[in-house]
Amino acid sequence: MSERFTKSMARNIYYGGSAFFILLFLGLTFDTVTALPERDNRDQLTEEVARGKEVWEVNNCVGCHSLMGEGAYFAPELANVFDRRGGADEATFKTYLKGWMMAQPIPAPGRRKMPQFHLTDQEINDLAEFLIWTSRIDDNNWPPNIEG
């Protein structure tokens, strides 16, 4: 091998490295796409879940809360709120969420105040269905602690 680094050597390294990383990227993309149906629960999407996501978006819940690590960290993570507050019982969670939403803002000193959104019973039920659905997604045990 010569002691000089030539243009053709640099070109070969560039093309070889580019080809390697493009193939690696394609392989990882294929692996992710084939693994997703096992990890998410898209087969359990309902109209209520879709309407609940719309309630989530229209009221900008992500502006304060995070969901599976995405969003603001001002208020608690909500990906596992069903597990925390519902104890795997949907009726209990829906009752809890309705009571919590109707009680806002809680006048506790030193506590961040969540606004009163004046949601209807149907909107609260749809939001609960959305949060129940998100809690059933395989998110590798996120968040790291139960309280989010």
> What pTM value is reported for the model?
0.77
Give me 2's structure tokens.
Answer: 């010569």
pLDDT in tens, 113-147: 889 999 999 999 999 999 999 998 888 888 887 77
Give me 43's structure tokens.
Answer: 């087969």
Query: Domain 44-148 carries which CATH code?
Result: 1.10.760.10
The answer to whether residue 95 scores a pLDDT higher than 70 is: yes
CA distance 129 to 118: 18
The answer to whether residue 52 scores a pLDDT higher than 90 is: yes
**Per-residue confidence (pLDDT) for residue 3, from 0 to 100:** 78
Question: Domains of the chain: which residue ranges?
Answer: 1-39, 44-148
CA distance 130 to 26: 32
Query: ∠ CA(31), CA(37), CA(42), 5° rounding?
Result: 145
Which has more pLDDT, 52 or 36? Answer: 52
pLDDT in tens, 38-51: 888 888 899 999 99
For 17-21, 37-41, 86-90, which range has the lowest pLDDT when averaged over its residues?
A: 37-41
Query: Could you tell me where the beta strands, DSSP code E, fall in 39-113?
Result: 66-67, 70-71
The answer to whether residue 2 scores a pLDDT higher than 70 is: no
**Confidence band for 65, pLDDT divided at 50, 70 and 90:** very high
- Tally of residues, the chain: 148
